[in-house]
Amino acid sequence: MRCVSCFQLPSSIFASSIMSSASSSTASNGLHTHSDASVSPSATHPDQSTHSYLNGFADQSLHNQKIIEYLYNYGFQRGEYADTVLHVHQNVYRLHAIILSRSPFLVQLLSTSPQVGGPRTIYVPVEREPEISAEGFAIALGYLYSSVSLKLVRPENARAVLAAGCMLGGMEELCQVAYETCKRSISIDSIGAWLEFVDAIPSPSTGADTPEVSSVRIFGSYAQSMRDDVFHFLVVTLPGVLEIQTTPSDSAPITSDSGREVLLQVFSRVPFEMFKAAIESPSFQIGSDQARFKFAKEAVEARKHGIARGPGFEETVVLAFGSAQGPGTSAVHVTRKMRKRPLWKVNS
């Protein structure tokens, strides 16, 4: 068990906060705020009409920035004057309940953890959330103190930050930044890891069955968004990156052998439901129906040695002809069925 002070950052990198005034008279820590107590800047300070005033006082954004800088440096990174000890993974944080209360998840832990002399101790259960790394959780935790954490999100940790942010709650801006970083990180080099991730996402429930238990359930609506992003990459972006273009007659794709081979390798690892949807999608432009049918057959053959191997299901591809195909539909269809068990003949 070790005590951490997270990430030391240059003191110049800090975001300013936005203050909001209450609509009615309130009292917090002995300070009263009245919504009708504002004074005209020009009336009280005619020689400073170019400045912004609130309740007769000049805008204190620089002062607010210094407060946030102090909170992050001394409160989060150094843990001074802490009243709460937080345990997560193998790390121990000395923090402050008033800041942690910004997170609905941590509020629940605080309210159910008794305080018997000294700092309150809380334990964050993340053992069943493999997507939440120590770094990702630290960035999300720091965001409760300052938006400087937004600058720490990188492609390598974005998914872990998103998972931690979704679990803690109350940090939509951080989640959105992490999600957009995830979206931009989908590439040929990373598609294998993203395919493993979407394969773990449970299919949308109809409500009639028991929800599946998944290691990615914590992402909420972002899970489906990332699934859609991976699908768009496979169907639209990847053929473009590999320079697979159709001829004017749409008879066959113009591409190098290496580009087509890469496309086959990627599709040989795609989960079946996404593979079927991609092959049959009108947006998957790799040539004529015959060209798409040939590609699908080769992909199915390659899948037999990888994702579709084993005694379970058998994947097949069919090419439909005639007028049954409506506009915007695919003549190429992918199906899957259980393999027939071999019949054993018993000799008498």
Highest average pLDDT, of 4-8, 181-185, 212-216, 324-328, comes from 181-185
Cα separations in angstroms, 121 against 2, 109, 131, 298: 15, 9, 24, 58
CA-nearest of 77, 90, 68, 210 to 147 is: 68
CA-nearest of 260, 265, 316 to 293 is: 316
Q: What pLDDT, on the 0 to 100 scale, is given for residue 287?
A: 87
CB-based contact 149:140 (threshold 8 Å): yes
Is the torsion defined by CA of 111, 114, 120, 121 positive or negative?
negative
63-72, 204-213, 217-226: segment of lowest average pLDDT: 204-213
Whole-prediction pTM: 0.75
What is the DSSP annotation of 65-99? HHHHHHIIIIIIIS-TT--EEEEETTEEEEE-HHH
Pairwise pLDDT comparison (342 vs 127), residue with the higher score: 127
pLDDT at 317 over 70: yes
In the chain, pLDDT over 70 holds for what percent of residues? Answer: 69
Is the torsion defined by CA of 68, 1, 165, 11 positive or negative?
positive
Q: What pLDDT, on the 0 to 100 scale, is given for residue 343?
A: 58
pLDDT at 64 over 70: yes
Scan for tokens 């199915």, then name that residue.
300
Cα separations in angstroms, 46 against 41, 43, 222, 258, 312: 7, 6, 51, 73, 82
Residues whose CB falls within 8 Å of the CB of residue 16, separated by 6 or more in sequence, listed in order: 61, 64, 65, 68
Mean pLDDT over the full length of the chain: 79
Q: Give the architecture (CATH level 2) of 1-19+50-185.
A: 2-Layer Sandwich (3.30)
In whole angstroms, give the CA distance from residue 316 to residue 293.
Answer: 11
What would the pLDDT profile of 202-216 be if each residue is shown by its tens digit?
A: 765 444 444 444 556
